[in-house]
Amino acid sequence: MAQGVFLVTGASRGIGAATARLAAEAGYRLVLTARDASRLAELAARLGGPDRVWVASCDVRVYDQLAALMGRVEEEWGSLDVVFANAGASVTTSFTSTDGAPPAEWSDMVLTNVCGPAFTARAAMPALTRHAGHLVLTGSAAGRGVRPGNLYSATKWAVTGLAQAIRAECVGTGVRVTLVQPGLTDTGGIPPSRAADPKLAPEDVARAVLYAVGQPPSVDVNEILVRPVGQDAYR
């Protein structure tokens, strides 16, 4: 059984919550974060008491909040072994029509999906380096192909490049870096146009995360691309 400290951003639902459940089963102590920490109370109560689960309000768009949290976790729990940069946002966009969200609403998605994991990595790296830890980032199958008019896809392309840049800089530190790229996942926000498409459950993605984290320290699983059976590679 693992005994390390596992921090999850965007832990209140979907992939983050499913990963927290599996990490708890594996024996990790958990730090669960979301912008609204009240949404984490029920999950935390199911996964353990305050000596096993730490709930924190944290906005990944704000570096200082992340840095303060990482420092507190290491100081009070003595370690930080896995950081799962999972928080994300999505809105429908178009560059040629008024379909989808207006441009004024795009900034939150870009800040959350691009600056969020970048800030998380920077804030976590001192502790991860000290403890030969593991950084996991949630990308997307959408970050591997062109999706017309889709700014969300472009943000996940950015996460793909970000993971590679971080991994290259971590050579020689003992820190492992894994990019998990899920296909369509049923996290409650699927657009009606894709409601009938094949979907992964959040637990399917969580198992991929725990697989990467569970490898021996000498093994660095760089990328995991996981799609539901039957999903078109270009959707």
Nearest residue to 135 via CA among 77, 172, 180: 180
What does the alpha-carbon distance between residue 66 and residue 12 come to, in Å, rounded to a whole number?
17
Total-model pTM: 0.95
Q: Which residue carries 């096993």 as its tokens?
A: 52
Is it the case that residue 234 has pLDDT exceeding 70?
no
Is it the case that residue 2 has pLDDT exceeding 70?
no
Q: Does residue 28 have an active-site annotation? A: no
Q: Is 27 left (phi over 0), alpha (psi -120 to 50) or beta?
A: left
Instruction: Assign 7 a pLDDT band (cuts: 50, 70, 90).
Output: very high
Q: What is the pLDDT of residue 1?
A: 52
What does the alpha-carbon distance between residue 193 and residue 197 come to, in Å, rounded to a whole number?
9
Q: Label the pairing between strands 82-85 and 53-57.
A: unpaired
Please state the rounded mean pLDDT for residues 89-110: 95
The active-site residue, picked from 28, 152, 211, 234, is 152
Please report how the helices 202-213 and 14-25 are oriented relative to each other, as an axis angle in degrees rounded to 10: 50
Q: What is the DSSP string of 64-83?
A: HHHHHHHHHHHHHHS---EE
Q: How many CA atoms lie within 13 A of 99 on its CB side?
A: 10
